[in-house]
Amino acid sequence: MELTPEEQEMAEGKHGKAAQKTMEILITLREIYGAKRLINVSSVQIAGVSYANLNEPGLEWLADMAKDGKVKSFTTLNPAGKSMAFF
């Protein structure tokens, strides 16, 4: 994947652990989809941040990402409703 100098710095961890992990995920997705480069965006939406989806390991991951993570564009979360299924 072609990375800009700033993207390469993020991948190397020079912008913090959260940026490095994010770049790791994006580079893996690039391999899956065959993308050549990243594109600039003006906003993003984060899905799947409900306890029903994440459980404790997911909450630990989010807490770890929040330690030094900063958004670089306007970011929203999906509403985390209280729907539950009982079996």
* Three-state secondary structure string covering the chain: CECCHHHHHHHCCCCCHHHHHHHHHHHHHHHHHCCCECCCCCEEEECCCCHHHHHHHHHHHHHHHHCCCCCCCEEEECCCCCCCCCC
Residue of 26, 46, 49 whose CA lies nearest to 36: 26
Number of domains in the chain: 1
**Is position 19 within any domain?**
yes
The whole-number pLDDT of residue 47 equals 74
User: Going by C-beta distance under 8 Å and a sequence separation of 6 or more, which residues neighbour residue 64?
Assistant: 17
User: Residue 82 pLDDT more than 90?
Assistant: no
The whole-number pLDDT of residue 79 equals 66
Give the whole-angstrom CA distance, residue 85 versus residue 50.
14
**Is position 85 within any domain?**
no
**Is position 82 within any domain?**
no
**Containing structural domain, residue 9:** 5-77
**Is position 86 within any domain?**
no
Over residues 10-67, the pLDDT tens digits come to 999 999 998 999 899 999 999 999 999 999 999 988 777 777 778 888 888 888 888 8
**Is position 84 within any domain?**
no
pTM: 0.73
